[in-house]
Structure 1
Amino acid sequence: MERVLLASVFARPAFGPNCPLSGSGLGLPLTKAIPWQSWGGNSPRHPARGLPRVLAIDAPRSEGPAVALTILGVSALFTGGVPEGQVLGHWRLTFADGRTEEHSLRMGVHAAEATHLEPRSLVTDDGVKVRTVGVMDVGGEAVRLDLFDIPLHRPGHLRSLAFHVEEAGASFLWCDVFVAVEQPIVCPFRGQGGRVSIEEIATIVRQRDPVRLERALEQFSQGVLRSSNLDEAKGLSLLFLGAISAALLETGAPRSLHLIQLQAARELDEQSSKEEVNASAMKWIRGVLEGLLEPLNRTPDPIQQATRIINENLAEDIDDSELAQRVGLSTSHFRAKFRAQMGQPVARYIMAMRLERANEMLKTGGMPVHCV
Structure 2
Amino acid sequence: MDVLAQVSEATGVPAGLLVGLLPVLGAARTTGRLPDRAALDALRAAGAAAAEDGVPMRRLADACLLAAEPAAADPSPDPSVDAALLGALRRSLAAYFDGYEEAQTRAIRLEEAARRAFVDDLLHGRADRLAERAEHFGLRLAEAYTVAAARHGTPITDGDPLVRRVEQALVTRFGSHNILVAARDGLLVCVAPASLAAAVGEFTHHVRAGLDPGWRVGVGRPHRGPGGVVTSYREAADAIGLGDRLELRPQVLKAADLLVFPVLLRDRAAIEDLVATVLGPLRGARGGPEPLLDTLAAVFATQGNQTAAARRLGVSTRAVTYRLERVRRLTGFSPDDPTQRFTLETAVLGARLLGWPADAPP
Same fold (TM over 0.5): no
TM-score, length of structure 1 as denominator length = 0.23
Between structure 1 and structure 2, the one with the greater Rg is: 2
TM-score, length of structure 2 as denominator length = 0.24
Higher strand share: 1
